[in-house]
Chains A and B, each alone.
Chain A
């Protein structure tokens, strides 16, 4: 890539006010560095990944309201987590966390276990029990 070809497309980097550094060759064929504001193929990939997460959140919310899963799964999606990541944060086996997705099991969870989840999601136990307040 030549220095003048370094992409300067619009990207989400602007929101944090920084540009990324890339390596490119100058007119004499020598390597140098240059700053890039972003690149479209990358932005599309990232935008799609974000949309995917938003869909997962919406879907989880629907299933909580239909009593098909517990709010734990919803908050897991909100925090861009998957089962292995959440299990690692709360320090429980994956199968146990998965069991807590069952609304019937979730209802019977003790305060201590609920608090573990609430702490990871940085919300109160009350908020953990209902997802209605969390309009996003």
Chain B
């Protein structure tokens, strides 16, 4: 491999890493696909509550689907073939990366955040579902397009190996992925409908840990937390809800707004004005999620004080569940 290799790759910042990597890789291959389009077709929107799984000593709440899911679904629904590789041996992982770069092929990588040196310290947790594109190498530094960053950056060989082989939940195991073949024309219309149908189905599923049912379960537990856990732990849990909602790169009811942007784009593509109306409603739901975060933060601002705000935020969360239930039932019928 030559010492200096830089693939002509356009870095576009995105709100969320996985969408961003997919969107940027698509653009690189000549398909102008926006971040919200990837998110919508890949059925990225979700709500899920996993009280048995603890991260940073608090249960897991998530506002989007499992890592890797968006790309898989997006590829399947648009007819793109993807190549994915995981590795046991870091040397082999590096060799395969170098081969791809030498072939002028930028690749997506799943990485851990804890050792990502260009992130602010405060954001470096053991979170292993971050995504980036590697688009070249200069000397011993890999050129990195991290979609949540404003500008491109770089990592040394050692630094990159560390984040590719981070350990713990969702360990990336060197996970590398890239598209290998494309259909002549992307069938976006059918893909959009499939994506919407699945999101609507999942959000209204009769399962306690996903969708609106999970939101109601969280609301129920929020009421119990102050007594059951004491104010300190209860506040820690509540903070976790907001941190997951406002995970880096998704600022402010983030995923709901990305979904609203998707519906707006889909409305034009499918020539369906009803989706435009629903986009507005989703924006308003996103705003309500933000209000929820503001009120929750008022409670945990004073970490150790007794507080009776829990009832209020539980009620807000239930109202959100009702709205989203109504929303997704309508959406299902619209496409």
List chain A positions with a Cβ less than 8 A from chain B.
1, 6-7, 12-13, 15-16, 18-25, 29-31, 33, 35-36, 38-42, 44-46, 48-52, 79-82, 84-85, 88-89
Per-position contact with A for B289-301: 1 when CB-CB < 8 Å, else 0? 0100110110011
Of A15, A35, A40, A89, the contact of B297 (CB 8 Å cutoff): A40
- A1-B283, A48-B239, A89-B168 known; A42 and B15 CB under 8 Å? no
List chain B positions with a Cβ less than 8 A from chain A.
13-15, 36, 54, 56-57, 114, 118-126, 148-151, 167-169, 171, 235-236, 239-240, 242-243, 246, 248-254, 257-258, 260-261, 264-265, 279-280, 283, 286-287, 290, 293-294, 296-297, 300-301, 303
Which residues on A sit within 8 Å (CB–CB) of B149? 18
Roughly how many angstroms separate A79 CA and B279 CA in the complex, as a whole number? 42
Q: How many A-B residue pairs have CB under 8 A?
A: 133
Which residues on B sit within 8 Å (CB–CB) of A48? 235-236, 239, 300, 303
Roughly how many angstroms separate A48 CA and B301 CA in the complex, as a whole number? 8
Which residues on A sit within 8 Å (CB–CB) of B261? 23, 31
- A16-B120, A51-B303 known; A23 and B246 CB under 8 Å? no
Roughly how many angstroms separate A114 CA and B42 CA in the complex, as a whole number? 45
What is the CB-to-nearest-CB distance from A122 to chain B, in angstroms, rounded to a whole number? Answer: 10
Roughly how many angstroms separate A30 CA and B118 CA in the complex, as a whole number? 33
Of B148, B169, B254, B286, the contact of A84 (CB 8 Å cutoff): B169
Of A18, A22, A51, A85, the contact of B168 (CB 8 Å cutoff): A85
- A19-B150, A23-B15, A89-B168 known; A52 and B236 CB under 8 Å? yes
Of B150, B151, B167, B296, the contact of A85 (CB 8 Å cutoff): B167
Closest partner residue, chain A, to B20 (CB atom): A21
Q: Which 6 residue pairs are nearest across A and B when measured between Cβ atoms?
A: A41-B297, A31-B261, A88-B167, A85-B168, A42-B246, A45-B239
Which residues on A sit within 8 Å (CB–CB) of B118? 16
Which residues on B sit within 8 Å (CB–CB) of A7? 251-252
Which residues on B sit within 8 Å (CB–CB) of A22? 15, 250-252, 254, 257
Say whether B126 contacts A80, CB under 8 Å. yes
Residue from the set A18, A24, A25, A40 with the largest chain B CB neighbour count within 10 Å: A18
Say whether A1 contacts B242, CB under 8 Å. no
Say whether A31 contacts B36, CB under 8 Å. yes
Of B122, B249, B283, B290, the contact of A25 (CB 8 Å cutoff): B283
Say whether A29 contacts B300, CB under 8 Å. no
What is the CB-to-nearest-CB distance from B261 to chain A, in angstroms, rounded to a whole number? Answer: 4
Of B114, B122, B169, B249, the contact of A12 (CB 8 Å cutoff): B122
Roughly how many angstroms separate A14 CA and B92 CA in the complex, as a whole number? 37
- A16-B120, A51-B303 known; A42 and B293 CB under 8 Å? yes
Closest partner residue, chain B, to A34 (CB atom): B251
Roughly how many angstroms separate A23 CA and B126 CA in the complex, as a whole number? 27
- A49-B239, A80-B125 known; A20 and B120 CB under 8 Å? no
Which residues on A sit within 8 Å (CB–CB) of B14? 21
Say whether A41 contacts B246, CB under 8 Å. yes
CB pairs A–B below 8 angstroms (11 shown): A12-B120, A15-B121, A18-B150, A23-B257, A24-B257, A31-B36, A36-B251, A41-B296, A44-B297, A44-B301, A48-B235
In addition to A7-B252, A22-B252, 19 A-B residue pairs with Cβ atoms within 8 Å of each other are A13-B120, A16-B118, A20-B248, A21-B249, A21-B251, A23-B15, A31-B261, A31-B264, A31-B265, A35-B150, A36-B251, A36-B252, A39-B252, A41-B294, A41-B296, A44-B297, A44-B301, A49-B56, A80-B124
Which residues on A sit within 8 Å (CB–CB) of B287? 1
What is the CB-to-nearest-CB distance from B120 to chain A, in angstroms, rounded to a whole number? Answer: 4
Roughly how many angstroms separate A89 CA and B36 CA in the complex, as a whole number? 35
Closest partner residue, chain B, to A56 (CB atom): B57
What is the CB-to-nearest-CB distance from B310 to chain A, in angstroms, rounded to a whole number? Answer: 16
Say whether B293 contacts A41, CB under 8 Å. yes
